[in-house]
């Protein structure tokens, strides 16, 4: 069946098109209200069943009506300023509930769905930390999960509301109390990749500022189309879904699990709907390349894809090159690759690249990098250099500085330090955590200039271009020498074909007083029974010794999924280290160092 055309003549921007960028003080409520008034019959969001077939769609008018009904129900309950958990999956129900919270002046708290008992501990921590009284879920979700989840939340008092029931309420014509730009729109709970999840308070001003920030860099129009599988409870997925309404173009969505099951579904949807804007973390491009190399991709057409953003985790030059090489034959342009850097504490986007050039890649000498100096090399030698991708510049009215965290002095170009960011996208702080908020969100240079957000990430600037080198808390120090775990993990993952891409964690642990390197790596499923595990371990040791002169104290091979990950797929090195020390990793084999 031919898919419906998503763009049409009357949707094009002209002199009468409502441009949100020219509206100071705009809120997310005004954003949707304006789209519903301007283009009531234009489809806003489409949800694909299994990532392949159109299941349902919603126009701006329909989305606005649903949001007003849900918002009216919440306002009638006297919940203004209260926190409401959103567990509505990945599609239209979630967005209806989110905008409903915005209308009612309720603080939305997105959480992962479907709800599962094994995720109940995280849900419990978020419910307690946020003080949420209500959980919004779809009817199917409530039927499937409520009993099992409540059995694990015996000390949390939550009232569950069915989104569909709320949507059928008669409160859509109520008079809503005005929402202001400074009001908190939602709490974005951090992934927990580096510690206990904390709720970042994002105001309407923060959100609209970041949307304008993104729009300046990627330059989409009302004729654009986006495709998204990113989870809506995560900052990258949430903000990029809202960006579609900010500009006024349709967004095609499907569930993250369907992408993981078959990554090429993503590219097939981009091809089918002629999408111009889409993206994901580094691992998404890696997975697509691996599947594309063994599949027939001749039916794809990626020629309209203008912006393929890549962020949320360390962006690897090798991954971007591999993706372009694999899909250039079906129209994908290298210039479309758009490396970017961001984090929840800054709403999402901090820096972004340019749409008129390929990614900037520099080869850095590893010996100098360990001393905090970025020294370029003309060629890439895997034994002595590392390739780092530029993540673009801070865009207007935002700034990035590289700072010595000890002295709080700004560093010159090509010196590695902590990344500090400033601008209206900087969140309000960690909900209910005043001391942490002051330390992280209100940092000042030794000169008193500020406030800045301390990101905790390391990097350097070169004429305004930001290069991210790693996270400060994850640095591995062996015999006084500093190593970046991302670099070690990449070497490990490419050491043997039986190792799963994106399935490695490198960290240090104390052994006989000294810090030793530990590597935990996931095997591909086909290698669990038939693979030569000793050969895999040997390949890992040889690769690290040859390329970084590193001796591994312990190599642990685990089953797929054995390396802990955050809800959005980031490797949790701290949790992996904890499981390693507690001996709770699902080991396939474990090998100590070879002695001469």
CATH of residue 574: 3.30.300.30
How many residues are there in the chain? 596
Residue 320 within any structural domain of the chain: no
How crowded is residue 1: how many other Cβ atoms within 10 Å of its Cβ?
Answer: 5
pLDDT, tens digit, 9 for 90 and up, residues 481-510: 888 888 899 899 889 999 988 889 999 887
Give dist(CA 500, CA 580) in Å, integer: 19
Taking Cα atoms as reference points, which of 50, 21, 46, 45 lies closest to residue 34?
21
Residue 372 within any structural domain of the chain: no
Residues 6 or more apart whose CB falls under 8 angstroms from that of 1 comprise none
Give dist(CA 132, CA 125) in Å, integer: 11
Distance of CA 100 to the CA centre of its chain: 24
Asked whether the beta carbons of 84 and 106 are under 8 A apart, the reply is yes
pLDDT at 195: 52
Helices 282-292, 264-272: axis angle to 10 degrees equals 90
> Any bridge partners for residue 556, and if so which?
520, 590
Give dist(CA 77, CA 558) in Å, integer: 49
Tokens read off for 283: 């691992």
Taking the alpha carbons at both ends of the chain, their separation in whole angstroms is 65
Taking Cα atoms as reference points, which of 525, 510, 458 lies closest to residue 487?
458
Give dist(CA 217, CA 360) in Å, integer: 16
Report CA Rg, the chain: 24
pLDDT at 57: 94
b/e per residue 236-265 (b: at least 16 CB within 10 A): bbbbbbbbbbbbbbbbbbbbbebbeeebbb
CA angle centred on 474, ends 473 and 475, rounded to 5°: 100
The domain total for the chain is: 1
pLDDT at 377: 92
Largest CA distance in the chain: 79
Give dist(CA 89, CA 237) in Å, integer: 12
Residue with tokens 């055309």: 5
pLDDT at 118: 66
Tell me the backbone φ, ψ of residue 131, rounded to 5 degrees.
70, 25
Residue 496 within any structural domain of the chain: yes
Taking Cα atoms as reference points, which of 208, 185, 232, 234 lies closest to residue 84?
185
Residue 527 within any structural domain of the chain: yes
Residues 6 or more apart whose CB falls under 8 angstroms from that of 44 comprise 35, 58, 59, 60, 63, 244, 245, 250, 251
Asked whether the beta carbons of 164 and 139 are under 8 A apart, the reply is yes
Residue 438 within any structural domain of the chain: no
Residue 249 within any structural domain of the chain: no
pLDDT at 72: 92
Tokens read off for 177: 């109390």
Which domain does 538 fall in, by range? Answer: 475-591
Asked whether the beta carbons of 94 and 88 are under 8 A apart, the reply is yes
Give dist(CA 286, CA 321) in Å, integer: 10
The residue ranges of the chain whose pLDDT is under 70 are 1-24, 114-119, 140-145, 148, 151-152, 168-173, 191-195, 512-513, 567-568, 589-596
Separation in Å, CA 589 to CA 103, 527, 559, 563, 580? 54, 12, 10, 14, 13
Residue 562 within any structural domain of the chain: yes
pTM of the prediction?
Answer: 0.85
pLDDT at 451: 96
Residue 14 within any structural domain of the chain: no
Tokens read off for 499: 């190792």
Residue with tokens 């606005």: 64
Give dist(CA 164, CA 161) in Å, integer: 9
Sheet hosting strand 226-228, strand order edge to edge: 53-59, 43-49, 251-253, 226-228, 277-280, 307-310, 337-342, 349-352, 393-394
pLDDT at 123: 82
pLDDT at 170: 57
Residues 6 or more apart whose CB falls under 8 angstroms from that of 461 comprise 400, 402, 413, 414, 467
DSSP H helical ranges for 473-561: 485-493, 527-530, 533-548
Taking Cα atoms as reference points, which of 466, 489, 494 lies closest to residue 552?
489
pLDDT at 188: 96
Cis peptide before 114 (omega within 30 of 0): yes
pLDDT at 197: 77
- Tell me the DSSP string of 61-95: HHHHHHHHHHHHHHHHTT-TT-EEEEE-TTSHHHH
Give dist(CA 230, CA 251) in Å, integer: 12
């Amino acid at each position: 069946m031919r898919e419906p055309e998503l763009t049409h003549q009357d949707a094009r921007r002209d002199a009468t098109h409502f441009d949100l960028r020219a509206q100071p003080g705009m809120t997310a409520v005004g954003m949707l209200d304006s789209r519903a008034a301007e283009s009531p019959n234009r489809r806003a969001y489409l949800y694909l069943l299994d990532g392949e077939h159109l299941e349902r769609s919603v126009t701006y008018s329909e989305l606005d009506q649903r949001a007003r009904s849900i918002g009216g129900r919440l306002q009638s309950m006297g919940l203004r300023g209260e926190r409401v958990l959103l567990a509505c999956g990945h599609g239209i129900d979630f967005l209806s509930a989110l905008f409903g919270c915005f209308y009612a002046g309720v603080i939305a708290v997105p959480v992962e769905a479907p709800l599962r008992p094994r995720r109940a501990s995280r849900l419990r921590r978020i419910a307690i930390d946020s003080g949420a009284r209500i959980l919004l879920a779809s009817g199917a979700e409530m039927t499937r999960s409520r009993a099992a989840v409540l059995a694990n939340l015996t000390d949390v008092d939550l009232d569950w509301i069915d989104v569909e029931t709320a949507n059928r309420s008669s409160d859509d014509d109520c008079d809503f109390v005005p929402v202001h730009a400074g009001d908190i729109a939602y709490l974005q709970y951090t992934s927990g990749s580096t510690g206990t999840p904390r709720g970042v308070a994002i105001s309407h001003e923060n959100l609209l500022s970041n949307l304008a920030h993104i729009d300046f860099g990627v330059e989409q129009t009302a004729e654009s189309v986006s495709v998204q599988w990113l989870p809506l409870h995560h900052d990258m997925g949430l903000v990029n879904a809202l960006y579609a309404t900010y500009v006024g173009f349709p967004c095609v969505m499907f569930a993250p699990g369907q992408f993981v099951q078959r990554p090429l579904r993503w590219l097939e949807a981009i091809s089918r709907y002629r999408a111009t804007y889409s993206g994901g973390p580094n691992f998404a491009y890696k997975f697509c390349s691996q599947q594309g190399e063994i599949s027939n991709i001749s039916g794809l057409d990626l020629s309209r894809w203008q912006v393929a953003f890549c962020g949320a985790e360390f962006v690897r030059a090798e991954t971007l090159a591999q993706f372009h090489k694999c899909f250039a034959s079906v129209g994908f342009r290298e210039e479309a690759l758009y490396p970017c850097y961001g984090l929840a504490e800054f709403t999402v986007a901090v820096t972004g690249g340019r749409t008129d050039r390929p990614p900037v890649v520099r080869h850095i000498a590893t010996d100098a990098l360990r001393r905090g100096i970025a020294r370029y090399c003309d060629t890439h030698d895997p034994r002595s250099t590392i390739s780092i991708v530029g993540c673009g510049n801070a865009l207007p009215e935002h700034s990035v500085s590289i700072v010595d965290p000890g002295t709080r002095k700004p560093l010159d170009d090509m010196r590695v330090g902590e990344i500090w960011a400033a601008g209206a996208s900087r969140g309000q702080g960690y909900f209910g955590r005043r001391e942490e908020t002051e330390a992280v969100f209100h940092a000042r240079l030794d000169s008193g200039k500020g406030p800045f957000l301390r990101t905790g990430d390391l990097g350097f600037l070169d004429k305004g271009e930001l290069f991210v080198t790693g996270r400060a808390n994850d640095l591995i120090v062996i015999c006084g020498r500093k190593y970046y775990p991302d670099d070690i993990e990449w070497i490990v993952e490419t050491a043997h074909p039986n190792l799963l891409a994106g399935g490695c964690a490198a960290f240090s642990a104390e052994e006989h007083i000294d810090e030793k390197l530990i590597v935990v790596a996931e095997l591909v499923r086909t290698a669990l029974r038939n693979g030569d595990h000793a050969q895999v371990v040997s390949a890992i040791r040889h690769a690290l010794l040859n390329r970084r002169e590193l001796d591994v104290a312990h190599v642990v091979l685990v089953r797929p999924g054995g390396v802990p990950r955050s809800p959005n797929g980031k490797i949790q090195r701290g949790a992996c280290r904890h499981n390693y020390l507690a001996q709770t990793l699902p080991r396939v084999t474990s090998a100590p160092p070879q002695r001469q």
